[in-house]
Chain A
């Protein structure tokens, strides 16, 4: 299943509400995860089952969506959120999106 993320690069200001998009090639039944990867680090799980917040992740992160269209929202962007964000489906085998690089304006 192909996963398409947009935009590939996003520049926003501290405090902004930020929305990242992930579109699946077919219905993935909410088996959708979001990972954050900071430069030089391993990915970290943020959201699973489309909208469940992983333990220890700040509540400014949230996930939504259904069917083929999913969204990761950061309610108030912080400097430490600079990273690349990947979505991943686990409904049928496993595939990752190509990522959205988030930077501070």
Chain B
């Protein structure tokens, strides 16, 4: 069974950084693209970015490219999202997801982790 569990969220002050983790199990982690999507309270879904199997290709939505960094550790079956210079607009639930069928398609999602940016 595919399982994705995000962690590392919480309350963070504006301008600070935060690193989220996504622990994966139930599938061969190093065989698939992985991605991050966020959802502000009461809003729609926003694609953050994705990373390929060996980290040689990482794609970001243009508006977040300079703030967020995606990485992965295949030995630990873990996906990461490093977020910097956080502002109130980054308050959201952050989901990790696996692109199982094809690149760009999110077959399974984690339960999400809440990040609140506030002083």
Contacts and interface: CB of A to CB of B under 8 A. Distances in A.
Interface of A: 31, 33, 35, 41-45, 48, 54, 86, 88, 90, 93-99
Interface stretch (B23-31, B78-86, B102-110): B102-110
8 contacts: A31-B104, A41-B111, A45-B105, A45-B106, A48-B102, A88-B47, A94-B61, A99-B44
Contact of B46 (A42, A43, A90, A96): A96
Contacts of A98: 44
Given A93-B61, A96-B47, A43 B109 contact: yes
B109 A96 contact: no
Interface residues of B, number: 22
A48 B105 contact: yes
A90 B105 CA distance: 7
A35 B47 CA distance: 14
B95 interface: yes
A33 B35 CA distance: 15
Interface string B74-108: 00000000000000000000010000011111111
A96 B50 CA distance: 15
Given A42-B95, A42-B111, A96 B44 contact: yes
Nearest to B96: A42
A42 B104 contact: no
A43 B97 CA distance: 10
B64 interface: no
A44 to B, nearest CB: 7
B95 to A, nearest CB: 6
